[in-house]
Structure 1
Amino acid sequence: MSEPTSLFSEALLLLGGAVVAAPIFKKLGLGTVLGYLFAGVVIGPALQVITDADNILHVAELGIVFLLFIIGLELKPSRLWQLRRDIFGLGSAQVLVTGLVLSAAATLSGVVDWRGGLIAGFGLALSSTAFALQILGEAGDTNTRYGQLSFCILLLQDLAIVPLLALITVLDGPDGEMGDPIRDLFIAVAAVAVMVLAGRYLLPRLFQVIARTGAREVMIAAALLVVMGAASLMQAVGLSMAMGAFLAGVMLAESSYRHELEADIEPFRGILLAMFFIAVGLSLDLKVLLANITLILVAVPLTMALKATVVYLVCRATGSGHNDAIRIAFLLPQGGEFGFVLFTTAAAHGLMSSGTASLLVAIVTLSMALTPIGASLSRRLLKEEGHEELEEDFDGAGSDVLMIGFSRFGQIAAQILLAGGRDVTVIDYSADRIRQAASFGFRIYFGDGTRKDVLISSGIERAKIIAICTHNRQVTDRIVELVRAEFPQARLFVRSYDRIHTLALREQGIEYELRETLESGLLFGRRALEALGLGEDDATSIGDDIRRRDEERLVLQAAEGLQAGRHMLYSRPVKPEPLLKPKRTVEEYDDMAEPVANESG
């Protein structure tokens, strides 16, 4: 078989392995990275179909280069400044402390010398961004406090790969001796200065000229040229290609072409990164792994335990609570994708043997596979968090309107009432919301609206209208039941959670209810029709018709059941067959709780 035909066959095998393995592992909840690794192991060490992984690995390393470029594009100076404390404080502490602890453990094990132990320790200190963000996204915790802290740590770890790759170059000297540090520093500073100047003055003008041509393929070629040119420049002066790509990305982060560049590079990054992980699987030495199976089974839980412990202590030392620190510690105990990069590169530079690199890759791989289990077990270590209490002081309370809950819905309603010259007494059970409202000049009383004594102290017996504006349906229902039982003459105006909640509230005979999304949705639709050319009067008439139909449907549903009145809906009976199964049904979206921070009030 000729060489071109052989390369073509190998490419087919690699692509086929990626296409088959990635969806299976994704479905199992293990992530595509493990799927690529598994495909590489099967194609290479197991079946011996491809035996020369080095050539594939050299080409596939461009995936890491493109990944670093995209990371740089995302790092606007303004964004870094907002997260600076958590990124450079918490993130740096985690990488340094964890890296030093694991480096000491690796060196003391006797498997590697101090140089290999340094790379092994800091490589294991890096976590899997793909795995961690996937777990956060599936749990809906991306925007929580611990989710944001985890993101900051992961971001610093992504940044740390650049100096760590440079460290490999520095450590790779004759007989293990370091080169001239002054010369190396001068060369590095000069190369970085050239990159900064080119990114500041040359690259934006280059893309302006190319954009005027309107040739899409030329823009793509220019994007590839910039990434690979910057990478080659850094490599020529003895630094890593990844550093050059990263610097190029940072320099273009504020460019108006940033999104177009990211879109151009993303397909190349994705496929080459997949090929890189497959090549890592191809390069695994199964004989070494089988010969050291006991060491691996001991090293994996020990590494994860050390890393989780350090992460927990660092988080606590920087001000995080016990629960957030536990969640972060169990989210980030695994090794990460960049560990594969470091270990493979270190082996290529002679800082460790290929067998040792295979051992470390196996440790990272197993730790990644165990991460979802560990994240679920972390819930058992969480402490029940007490609700923050403020002093209950109802001095001056008592108005025509008693509003319970001051979330976004209540805030808008209160503006209408205050503009109409009515006094409003507001109580809320969120200390954070009360402090935030106070910063805008509002007087809000701290109190639990589900308690009778709090309602009496806040003036419910003198109020003409009780406005229940809480987010959580269960809390709203408890307040409604309490008020109807203890204060039967009270006039209740209630924020409804959804259509089913509306029907339940009407059954209880409250005077007025409103779904928060109803009026905003009607207004949104009217404005969209007007933007499409329909007259304002016609759009308003259509909105009024939809409101009337909605009310008539509610009346029918209250009498005949939820399916009544379907004929009154405008619909298009089209049932497309999606390529991917939706993660949630429409009903699940309707039943989703709103942000936790706004549920009580």
Structure 2
Amino acid sequence: MKGFLEIFLITAAIAIVLNVVLKKFSIPTIIGYIFTGLIVGLSFNIHTNPEINHIAEFGIVFLMFSIGLEFSIKHLMTMKTEVFLNGALQMCLSGLIFAALINYFFNINENTSLILGFTLGLSSTAIVLKILNETSEINQVFGRKTLGILLFQDIAVIPLLLMIDIFNSSDSASSLIIKTLVSAIIVLSLLFFIGKYVFNRVLYYVIKTKSQEIFIATILFTIVGASYLAHIFGFSYSLGAFIAGMLIAETEYKHQIEADLIPFRDLLLGFFFVTVGLQIDVFLIIKYWYIVIILTFVIMSIKAAVVYMFLQFTNTKSNSFKTALCLCQIGEFALAVFGLLSSHKMIDDVNSQLFTLSVILSMIIAPFIIKNNKKLSSWANDEVSTVAPKIQSLSNHFVIFGYGTLGQEVVLKLKNQGIPYLVIDSDINLVELGQKRGENVYQGNVEQDYTLQAANIKTCAAVIITVSNEARLELISKKVVAYSPETNVIMRFSKDEHKIFDDFSQKVVLIKEEKVVAKTMLQEALKCRIANS
């Protein structure tokens, strides 16, 4: 125990110091965690083992659960193209190309080459979604397409593991496929039944206890339980967590759950990346450094080229290229597959380590690529116009940022009064919903001056900001005020958020949520009093 505590304290200290230093240079914390693992591994001559890897994997589990909270089943069905078409194209094309190259250049048999090929086609859910969530790009067009393909990849893990079993089993392929389908039906049925009929009732009684620790314990049990249930039937932990998240997304408690889970998710993700660093073999890098670099470059280039090739036929070049950049690294699940192949003697130790080092190197490079995808895709300046030409002549109109629940209520009242308006949202699904309703809703990025210019911010009557996310609220308001200081800006805030806007001009009107709710409730109560008198 003493030795474990010493290593834990040293690891935590290194991670804190490294990330504080790296943050000054805008380098993602992921890099700090990976290098922490490398330093600890070299200093104490320790490496990961299956038990540590299982614990570390729960960082991805919590991440996938939080992503699932953002997607109800209905929402997922609106992403059929992104998940099933784009995802299938990416996996099939990348997997077959890699399988052919591995078979030819590494002289590995066809079965193992096929497994390796599809494994290299996987991307890192942990890295990509963490960064896209931090930058709020998950709601942009390319963010949704990236997420859709990542979801399909997580599903593709099932047949990938099945392939390993088929090539090493005396059972027939058909019996294994039937067994997997039956398992899938059982898992989905159980999770659906529990989520729809049991979870809400249990959570109702937990909430009544008014105990925060019991509430958190219940959520942790739900996540781990759903993950373990999926694992028992041969699926990945993260897939079970994602399905559980989607089912809970239908409940009224999703926002409270999401807020409580963030600390656990981020800490476990950090632990996961430390274990990635522990797997780096420095001596092998020194011996085969040129092969590792070439292999990593070729794999990432092919993956990016494949994604860009089929996306650019139905999307803008800019969004296609950004999606390709986000998915060009190799996923963390590849590390587990290489371990399985080695244990089954399907790949030798040297090739296994070469591929492992390529995975880790691509994961180190990935955050820099994803963080700078806008600069790297600047050559493709073909973004779809935020505002249609017929609306660009508007003046003395209202510009609304955010088409969520509050934004839709504002639009409905403006439509009923015949007042001209324009709505801008970065979430393509909300934009499509508004346009289907025949409303003036357009996709746009507030960080681009073109968006504000096309919306005629300087000639509008007022800007109404309806977003609820504090970070987005601050970003949009400051951008609008900086672009046009004389424009009237109206926004809602809660609790202590008003401190963010203390230095704003008198043109900014802050509406406190509690006051509006209190006023509305009092008005309704007075109506009841008058009706009863």
Number of aligned residues = 444
CA–CA separation in structure 2 for the residues paired with 1:501 and 1:188:
55
Offset of residue 218 of structure 1: 1.6
CA gap 1:35/1:357 in 2 versus in 1, 3 angstroms: farther
Question: Is contact 1:289–1:358 with CA below 8 Å preserved after alignment?
Answer: no
Structure 2 residue 237 is matched with structure 1 residue 237: no
Offset of residue 304 of structure 1: 1.9
CA–CA separation in structure 2 for the residues paired with 1:253 and 1:518:
30
Structure 2 residue 40 is matched with structure 1 residue 43: yes
Structure 2 residue 253 is matched with structure 1 residue 268: no
SS class of match (1:61) = helix
Q: Which residue of 2 aligns with 1:324?
A: 319
Q: TM-score, normalised by structure 2?
A: 0.67
Question: Is contact 1:168–1:349 with CA below 8 Å preserved after alignment?
Answer: no
Question: Is contact 1:307–1:333 with CA below 8 Å preserved after alignment?
Answer: yes
Deviations 1:258-314 (A, max 9, x none): 233333433222222211221121123333333322221211221122112111111
What is the letter of the counterpart of residue 293 of structure 1? W
What is the letter of the counterpart of residue 89 of structure 1? L
CA–CA separation in structure 1 for the residues paired with 2:142 and 2:85:
11
Q: TM-score, normalised by structure 1?
A: 0.61
Question: Is contact 2:276–2:360 with CA below 8 Å preserved after alignment?
Answer: no
**Any residues of structure 2 matched to 1:335-484 within 5 Å, and which?**
335-340=330-335, 342-343=337-338, 352=347, 356-371=351-366, 372=368, 375=373, 378-379=376-377, 381-382=379-380, 404-406=393-395, 408-409=397-398, 471=456
CA–CA separation in structure 2 for the residues paired with 1:391 and 1:47:
63
Deviations 1:526-549 (A, max 9, x none): 888976999xxxxxxxxxxxxxxx
CA–CA separation in structure 2 for the residues paired with 1:138 and 1:271:
15
Offset of residue 132 of structure 1: 5.1
Structure 2 residue 160 is matched with structure 1 residue 167: yes
Structure 2 residue 93 is matched with structure 1 residue 97: yes
Offset of residue 62 of structure 1: 2.4
SS class of match (2:44) = coil
Offset of residue 525 of structure 1: 4.7
CA gap 1:323/1:230 in 2 versus in 1, 3 angstroms: closer
CA gap 1:66/1:528 in 2 versus in 1, 3 angstroms: closer
CA gap 1:361/1:233 in 2 versus in 1, 3 angstroms: same
CA–CA separation in structure 2 for the residues paired with 1:222 and 1:134:
24
Question: Is contact 2:316–2:383 with CA below 8 Å preserved after alignment?
Answer: no
Question: Is contact 2:142–2:320 with CA below 8 Å preserved after alignment?
Answer: no
**Any residues of structure 2 matched to 1:448-597 within 5 Å, and which?**
471=456, 515-517=487-489, 524-525=509-510
CA gap 1:283/1:54 in 2 versus in 1, 3 angstroms: farther
CA–CA separation in structure 2 for the residues paired with 1:254 and 1:260:
13
SS class of match (2:315) = coil
Question: Is contact 1:53–1:283 with CA below 8 Å preserved after alignment?
Answer: no
Question: Is contact 1:73–1:258 with CA below 8 Å preserved after alignment?
Answer: yes
What is the letter of the counterpart of residue 325 of structure 1? S
Q: Which residue of 2 aligns with 1:32?
A: 29
Question: Is contact 1:172–1:351 with CA below 8 Å preserved after alignment?
Answer: no
Question: Is contact 1:53–1:282 with CA below 8 Å preserved after alignment?
Answer: no
Question: Is contact 1:311–1:325 with CA below 8 Å preserved after alignment?
Answer: yes
Question: Is contact 2:488–2:508 with CA below 8 Å preserved after alignment?
Answer: no
SS class of match (2:106) = coil
CA gap 1:254/1:355 in 2 versus in 1, 3 angstroms: farther
CA gap 1:176/1:114 in 2 versus in 1, 3 angstroms: farther
Structure 2 residue 57 is matched with structure 1 residue 61: yes
CA–CA separation in structure 2 for the residues paired with 1:518 and 1:249:
34
CA gap 1:115/1:260 in 2 versus in 1, 3 angstroms: farther
2:210 aligned to 208, 214, 231, which one?
A: 214
SS class of match (1:271) = helix
Offset of residue 228 of structure 1: 2.1
Question: Is contact 1:127–1:334 with CA below 8 Å preserved after alignment?
Answer: yes
CA–CA separation in structure 2 for the residues paired with 1:85 and 1:74:
18
CA–CA separation in structure 2 for the residues paired with 1:440 and 1:108:
55
Question: Is contact 2:94–2:306 with CA below 8 Å preserved after alignment?
Answer: yes
Offset of residue 37 of structure 1: 1.3
Structure 2 residue 10 is matched with structure 1 residue 21: no
CA–CA separation in structure 1 for the residues paired with 2:307 and 2:321:
9
SS class of match (1:382) = coil
CA–CA separation in structure 2 for the residues paired with 1:37 and 1:364:
12
Question: Is contact 1:125–1:307 with CA below 8 Å preserved after alignment?
Answer: yes
Offset of residue 5 of structure 1: 1.4
Q: Which residue of 1 aligns with 2:122?
A: 126
1:149 aligned to 142, 152, 173, which one?
A: 142
Structure 2 residue 182 is matched with structure 1 residue 194: no
Deviations 1:151-206 (A, max 9, x none): 32233314522440563255236846566322343234223322222222222222
Offset of residue 43 of structure 1: 0.8
CA–CA separation in structure 1 for the residues paired with 2:79 and 2:272:
31
CA–CA separation in structure 2 for the residues paired with 1:82 and 1:184:
26
CA gap 1:130/1:272 in 2 versus in 1, 3 angstroms: closer
Offset of residue 208 of structure 1: 1.6
Q: Which runs of 5+ in 1 are unaligned?
A: 393-402, 425-431, 442-467, 477-496, 503-513, 535-601
What is the letter of the counterpart of residue 327 of structure 2? L
Question: Is contact 1:311–1:329 with CA below 8 Å preserved after alignment?
Answer: yes
Question: Is contact 1:252–1:258 with CA below 8 Å preserved after alignment?
Answer: yes
Question: Is contact 2:132–2:143 with CA below 8 Å preserved after alignment?
Answer: no
Higher Rg: 1
Q: Which runs of 5+ in 2 are unaligned?
A: 401-409, 421-430, 441-452, 461-479, 493-505, 520-533
Identity across matched positions, percent: 26
CA–CA separation in structure 2 for the residues paired with 1:532 and 1:67:
34
CA–CA separation in structure 2 for the residues paired with 1:353 and 1:290:
19
SS class of match (1:284) = coil
Offset of residue 92 of structure 1: 3.4
SS class of match (2:182) = helix
Q: Which residue of 2 aligns with 1:6?
A: 3
What is the letter of the counterpart of residue 40 of structure 2? I
CA gap 1:501/1:229 in 2 versus in 1, 3 angstroms: closer
CA–CA separation in structure 1 for the residues paired with 2:513 and 2:200:
37
Offset of residue 350 of structure 1: 6.2
Q: Which residue of 2 aligns with 1:227?
A: 223
SS class of match (1:50) = coil
1:283 aligned to 272, 279, 284, which one?
A: 279
Question: Is contact 2:281–2:357 with CA below 8 Å preserved after alignment?
Answer: no
Question: Is contact 1:103–1:119 with CA below 8 Å preserved after alignment?
Answer: yes
The CA RMSD measured in Å over matched residues stands at 4.7
Q: Which residue of 2 aligns with 1:400?
A: none
SS class of match (1:6) = helix
Question: Is contact 1:90–1:153 with CA below 8 Å preserved after alignment?
Answer: no
What is the letter of the counterpart of residue 359 of structure 1? L
CA–CA separation in structure 2 for the residues paired with 1:386 and 1:212:
49
Question: Is contact 1:10–1:50 with CA below 8 Å preserved after alignment?
Answer: no
SS class of match (1:149) = helix
CA gap 1:186/1:83 in 2 versus in 1, 3 angstroms: closer
Deviations 1:334-357 (A, max 9, x none): 234454455556656766566545
What is the letter of the counterpart of residue 357 of structure 2? A
Offset of residue 499 of structure 1: 9.1
